[in-house]
Amino acid sequence: MPQKKNYDVLELIRGNIAIFNGYQHQIENVIKNLPTGYNRDFQLTKEPYIKGIRLALETIQVAILVVKNLEAKKENLEAACTPELYATDEALQLVKQGKSFREAYQEIKEKFSQRS
């Protein structure tokens, strides 16, 4: 869709991570609570292990390409650095000066609600 700003490749990377976690859980569930001497079950971990490693390597290679070709627009980054971004830092400064966090929170909240 033309209005979409998320790149499909990043969504697929996120999806691959979920699939990888599924392989991890398969392996964990096969080997948990095995009594001593029962090792035949381990053969069931081979497939998710190999698939997981392949998926991880492919996903890392794609992520490297994405990062290598990433270009940041300085003006967009600067425009996104609005004062609200630093509200928590301001509240923590007030806490360091002796105010309770609740008081600092309220003060900063009022400060920003007056701006809008």
Burial of 36 (0-12, 13-18, 19+ CB in 10 A): exposed
What is the SS3 assignment for 98? coil
pLDDT digits 0-9 by tens, 64-76 = 999 999 888 999 9
Same domain, 56 and 84: no
Residue 105 lies in a domain: yes
* CA separation for the pair 27, 25 (Å, rounded): 5
Domain that residue 46 falls in: 8-71
| Model confidence band, residue 98 (pLDDT cutoffs 50, 70, 90) | very high
CA–CA separation, 101 vs 88, rounded Å?
10
Distance CA 47, CA 41 (A): 12
53 and 89 part of one domain: no
How many domains are contained in the chain?
2
Tell me the pLDDT tens digit for each residue of 43-94.
Answer: 999 999 999 999 999 999 999 999 999 888 999 999 989 888 999 999 999 9
- Considering the domain architecture, whether residues 58 and 36 belong to the same structural domain is answered as yes
pTM for the full predicted model: 0.64
